[in-house]
Amino acid sequence: MNNVLRSLCAGLCTVSLACALPSQPVTEQPALIPAPIQYEWAVNQPGFLLSNGIKVDSATSHSELGRAAIRALMAAGLEIQPEETEGDLQVQLQANQAPAAYSLKVTPLGISIEVGSAEALHAAAQTLAQAVLKDAAGQPALPAMWVKDAPQLEHRGIMLDTSRHPISVADTKRILNLMARYKLNRLHWHLCDDQGWRIEIKKYPLLTEIGSKRKGTACWIKQTEVDNKPVEFYYTQDDIREVVAHAHSLGIIVIPEIEIPGHASAAVTAYPQLGNQDSPGFAPEVVTGWGVFTHVMGPNAFAFQFIEDVLAEVCALFPRAPYIHIGGDEVPRDQWQQSPAAQAFMQQHGMTRESQIQDYFTHLCAQVLRKHGRRMVGWDEIMCAPQLPQDAVVMAWRGMDHARIAARRDHELILCPIHAFYFNFPQSTNEEVKPFYSGLTGFDHIDWKHVLTFDTSVPGNKVIGMQANLWSECIPDMKKLEYMLVPRICALAEKAWRYGLPVFPDEFAHRLEAQTPYFDSLQLNFRQEDNAPRRP
């Protein structure tokens, strides 16, 4: 045993933590993803035996921090025995650490966790869960180890597109569990788009009565082929609360997205007054195909009130989201050019370009959200708005150039450049996989190595997050979703947690390979190195 671990063990003995029995020597080594910033573990030494779970004394299980630790450990899958007279677990707040930082010490006698805030307990718990190995007698054990760790980015996320292909509440929870395992802490929930509105809004019942239904769905390979299977799906407000609560139990904050003013066909179909009714050929419908569509919100009183009302309900449903996503991407100007009402609005406001209507919407959203104590986050197109509020968060998707522009303008930003973080693109080429497993065309070979090594550097310190987007045109079910997400999710998690630190793909490859038993324990249909799906 090395000196650090020897003194650790002595330290724990002096506070007479527990009467735990040491494990047999632990010969395996943990394969942690993301790799902690600093760590050491003892090889071939006894560790902490887990066959009886982790005992927690009543003082710990009655303290607020202790209870939070127990919840985090249980959510990470560890077995806890509370209310014992003597415990194996010691938890402490370390006010001088960053809120998201934690340190861990495991000895044969117990586990001690120090955190900068309760939030960090989730990461600590997941590190422990990933470090569970077998000792020489085949019993579950943690190696004696020491970890000092903190994320380099506060927003580490996955975006799920529930409009193109809905995802059930149960499946969303499974995805959240997987995210938590790798310390991802933000779910960006894309809840509406041209192909369907998926969130119940009490004040506008037609959004779901009409807007959540479409007649069929286009094939992502041959877009002209549309099936005739109706899609009808939305999350009730109770469903939303259930997902948000499950996420919270794992230390994940859900950031909802309401698309304003574009990608609005479903909303405009439900409430035509929301659109540009006087534009030629106005006949909105919930779209069955893919692409960018002309139906956008109109600059009118109904639309402005709609935004105010919808965002109010959304803020109430997502009380912990510090920022709310208002979309803002890919807004065609055709209807605004052709609508007399939109043109009159422009004149009235001294606007010379249609794009200024989008800027007006962007500012309105920021204003409404501020009233609810929230910031706004939007796709990088929102930067077109002059005097964009300084606290607006920019989600840079069109490439690193846009990320660097946002940073120069002093906006906090979240990186998800299409060239590496769009998990709807193939991990090889589409020709190398069965059609079902192909991705959208545009970019090939976005495999885990590409994700890991892609240059995401941005001068300055404005990057607050990184996420992968799972646009779901080509993701009709969980088999496909798992194939597109796993194992790239691991590379994303590593890169976000260790943002700015050097990466070593060959070393990472070993840790990734070691995840296979975990993936299999969840029955995941992950993409294997030869591109074959694990459970086709």
Q: Interface residues with ligand TNX (CB under 6 A)? A: 329-330, 379, 397, 424, 440, 471, 473
Q: What burial letters (b/e) apply to 424-445, b meaning 16+ CB within 10 Å?
A: bbbbbebeebeeebbbbeeebe
Count the helices and strands in the chain (H runs, E runs). Answer: 19, 23
| Cβ 8 to ligand TNX shortest distance, Å | 48
Selecting among 330, 391, 432, 444, the annotated active-site residue is 330
CB-based contact 407:464 (threshold 8 Å)? no
26/393 with CB nearer ligand TNX:
393
- Backbone CA torsion sign across 318, 324, 327, 328: positive
278/329 with CB nearer ligand TNX:
329
Residue 287 to residue 266: CA distance in whole angstroms: 7
Selecting among 122, 155, 246, 263, the annotated active-site residue is 263
CA angle 138/144/145 to nearest 5° reads: 130
In the three-class reduction of DSSP (H, G, I as helix; E, B as strand; rest coil), residue 443 is classed as: coil
E strand map for 226-370: 231-232, 253-257, 323-325
Residue 7 to residue 11: CA distance in whole angstroms: 6
263 included as an active-site residue = yes
Cβ atoms within 10 Å of 534's Cβ, excluding its own: 17
330 included as an active-site residue = yes
| Cβ 440 to ligand TNX shortest distance, Å | 6
| Cβ 441 to ligand TNX shortest distance, Å | 10
| Cβ 264 to ligand TNX shortest distance, Å | 12
Angle between helix 121-130 and 169-181 (nearest 10)? 80
312/440 with CB nearer ligand TNX:
440
| Cβ 375 to ligand TNX shortest distance, Å | 19
227 included as an active-site residue = no
Cβ atoms within 10 Å of 494's Cβ, excluding its own: 24
CB-based contact 288:225 (threshold 8 Å)? no
Q: By CB neighbour count within 10 A (0-12 exposed, 13-18 middle, 19+ buried), where does 294 fall?
A: buried
| Cβ 328 to ligand TNX shortest distance, Å | 8
| Nearest alpha-carbon partner for 420 in 438, 436, 444, 437 | 444
| Cβ 193 to ligand TNX shortest distance, Å | 6
Please list, in sequence order, all residues whose beta carbon lies within 8 angstroms of the beta carbon of residue 410, skipping any fewer than 6 positions away. 390, 462
Strand partners, 141: 49, 133
180/326 with CB nearer ligand TNX:
326
Per DSSP bridges, beta strands 22-26 and 38-41 are unpaired
306/379 with CB nearer ligand TNX:
379
Selecting among 193, 194, 200, 494, the annotated active-site residue is 193
**270: left (phi > 0), else alpha (psi -120 to 50), else beta?**
alpha
146/471 with CB nearer ligand TNX:
471
CB-based contact 416:396 (threshold 8 Å)? yes
329/391 with CB nearer ligand TNX:
329
| Cβ 150 to ligand TNX shortest distance, Å | 30
CB-based contact 67:91 (threshold 8 Å)? no
| Cβ 307 to ligand TNX shortest distance, Å | 19
Angle between helix 488-497 and 478-485 (nearest 10)? 50
| Cβ 502 to ligand TNX shortest distance, Å | 29
140/439 with CB nearer ligand TNX:
439
CA angle 437/471/282 to nearest 5° reads: 120
Cβ atoms within 10 Å of 360's Cβ, excluding its own: 18
270/394 with CB nearer ligand TNX:
394
Cβ atoms within 10 Å of 390's Cβ, excluding its own: 9
23/424 with CB nearer ligand TNX:
424
Annotated active-site positions, please? 193, 263, 330
